[in-house]
A = this chain, B = another copy of it.
Amino acid sequence: MATEPLSRGRIVTAAIGLIEREGADAISMRRVAAELGVGVMSLYNHVPGKDALLNGVAETVLSQVEFTDDPDAHWTDRVRGQARAFRQIAHHYPRSTMLVVSRQLHSTAGLLPVERALATLRGAGFDGADTVRMLRMFIAYIVGSLLREVGVTPTFAPAQTRTISADGVDPALFPEVSSLASLLGECDHEEEFEFGLDLLIKAIEAYAVQGEGRREGRKEGTR
């Protein structure tokens, strides 16, 4: 009955499993150790502490995103594909998503998607400054969308709509909210995501041609 030796990898995997099964709050060094059938302190031979463990979880989840990127496709389609790939995190690891999104990763796992996105945008003809701006805009949108999808941050819309449909919001105080209650109460995450993604891509497409025109036309400054 020789069990596999303890390792950082095994510990991280166990942590991910625990999070997905019982939620991010349920995680503790002691629970993870119990999961693996070892003493708590054994973990510390492979992981510096809880914080590092959670970083490991985030890195591992992120590194498992499948970025199938067709270099010959139009850049708008490539951006779309990359955004969708990212969204898969919310599907495969819903309860770890918050972790992926809220931990700043210093590993190559975090850098690879960035490298691809930058390359795609540069390829579309944006200069360095615009490329970085675009990337940040997309990341903001994607992060916000994932958090909504994953249940964190229905800050308003769907969540208290339960209260709305149930208790009923005072229509005098909140006429729009109550008249749109049924729409606010449901949410097709995929459609919602695609809608915004589409708008975003169209917006930067328009920005691109406008920038070109300006650059070719009268040779103006940046932006």
Given the interface pairs A139-B144, A160-B111, the reply to whether A102 lies near B173 with Cβ below 8 Å is no
A174/B143 in contact, CB under 8 A: no
A9, CB-defined interface residue at 8 Å: no
A154 contacts which chain B residues (CB < 8 A)? 104
Given contacts A110-B160, A169-B111, contact A176 B105 (CB under 8 A): no
**Interface flag for A200 (CB, 8 Å):** yes
Q: Does A218 lie at the interface of the complex (its beta carbon under 8 Å from any beta carbon of B)?
A: no
**Contact A143 B153, CB 8 Å, known A174-B111, A177-B111, A177-B115:** yes
Pick from B131, B163, B195: contact of A133, CB under 8 Å: B195
Q: Is the CB of B155 within 8 A of A104?
A: yes
Are B160 and A105 interface neighbours, CB within 8 A? Answer: yes
- The interface of chain A, by Cβ under 8 A from chain B, is 98, 100-108, 110-115, 118-119, 122, 128-129, 131-133, 135-137, 139-145, 147-148, 152-157, 159-160, 163, 169, 173-177, 179-180, 183-184, 187, 192, 195-196, 199-200, 202-204, 206-207
